[in-house]
Amino acid sequence: MQETITRVSASETVVHVARDEVGIAAPDNAPAGIIFHVARCGSTLISQSLKKLDNLVVYAEPQAVNEILAPPHRWPRADLVAAIRALGGAFARHAGRPYVLKLSSWNSLFCDIVAEAFPETNWVLTLRDPVEVGVSLLRQPPGWLGGSTEASRSLIEIMAPENRPMSPEERVARAYGAFCAAAARLDPSRGRLVDYETLPTAVWETVAPHFSLPVDARQRAEIEQGARVNAKAPLGSSGEYAPDAATKQSTASLELRGAIDRFARPHLERLVRLHAR
């Protein structure tokens, strides 16, 4: 979303919300669905695919949500929930039609706040084998995992409360485990787990139906065609998507695998059991 704002010039409008109106939003201002994810797991493909549906707007990783959720939190939980709900009202007014929120990976740590802000909205959590996610995060570490800002240091403290030195491998494993542990606090009846290996089929078989979004034959064909292109390729690029699971698995170090088995996989397995009931 932020890349689009930077690329497309337009006049700015500052919206002021009165303090006593924060959190007061009509039910129809809520998103049609929320996409949580564990990073580098196909969530961008899902959001790009949903954009091909008629009469739907997708807001992907909006900076405004990041600014509300970024720790350390200086406001009570109720205020954070109210702020997210008010922001949903702004998105609804801007979209003028149904919309979906695709959040940043670290937002998953606070998925219960977002779910509370929109109590009637269904959600999905996109997952991928934690070894493959770990390899990707080690190759290209995201800013939130670097510990160079107050917010990222706070995130690391949430993911690893022991407050001791960690290897990069342990850090990415703990991040994955923390995302799964946070999602396990949500009502499973409102959620669906979407495995990377099931994409793009899961877009029309799982995600869209769970969000009550119809997909016709033409849209399905467009989603299938779009899935052949690297979802994170630069705008205007036609880079073809190439499966990389085998490469990531073969290059994963023993240290990464050990950290995954200790800090990530138990939380993932517990989450999967919760959704298998």
Q: Using the predicted structure, report yes or no on whether residue 76 has a pLDDT greater than 80.
A: yes
- As a whole number, mean pLDDT of residues 23-42 equals 89
pLDDT at 11: 76
- As a whole number, mean pLDDT of residues 13-25 equals 72
Q: Where are the domains of the chain?
A: 2-8+24-231+241-276
Confidence of residue 28 (pLDDT cuts 50, 70, 90): confident
pLDDT at 233: 63
Confidence of residue 234 (pLDDT cuts 50, 70, 90): low
Q: Using the predicted structure, report yes or no on whether residue 235 has a pLDDT greater than 70.
A: no
Confidence of residue 7 (pLDDT cuts 50, 70, 90): low
Distance between CA 15 and CA 252 in Å, rounded? 47
How far are the Cα atoms of 70, 100, 133, 276 from residue 153, in angstroms, in the given order? 11, 29, 21, 34
More confidently predicted of 18 and 121: 121
Q: Using the predicted structure, report yes or no on whether residue 3 has a pLDDT greater than 70.
A: no
- As a whole number, mean pLDDT of residues 107-121 equals 97
Q: CA nearest 203: which of 53, 9, 7, 5?
A: 53
How far are the Cα atoms of 6, 9, 15, 22, 94 from residue 12, in angstroms, in the given order? 12, 9, 10, 21, 12
- As a whole number, mean pLDDT of residues 165-189 equals 97
Mean pLDDT of the chain: 92
Confidence of residue 241 (pLDDT cuts 50, 70, 90): confident
More confidently predicted of 163 and 58: 58
Out of 29-43, 189-203, 219-233, least confident range: 219-233
CA angle 55, 57, 59 (to 5 degrees): 170
Q: Using the predicted structure, report yes or no on whether residue 139 has a pLDDT greater than 90.
A: yes
- As a whole number, mean pLDDT of residues 147-153 equals 94
Give SS3 for 123.
strand
Q: Which CATH architecture has domain 2-8+24-231+241-276?
A: 3-Layer(aba) Sandwich (3.40)
Q: Using the predicted structure, report yes or no on whether residue 1 has a pLDDT greater than 70.
A: no
Give SS3 for 238.
coil
- As a whole number, mean pLDDT of residues 231-252 equals 82
pLDDT at 4: 65
Confidence of residue 162 (pLDDT cuts 50, 70, 90): confident
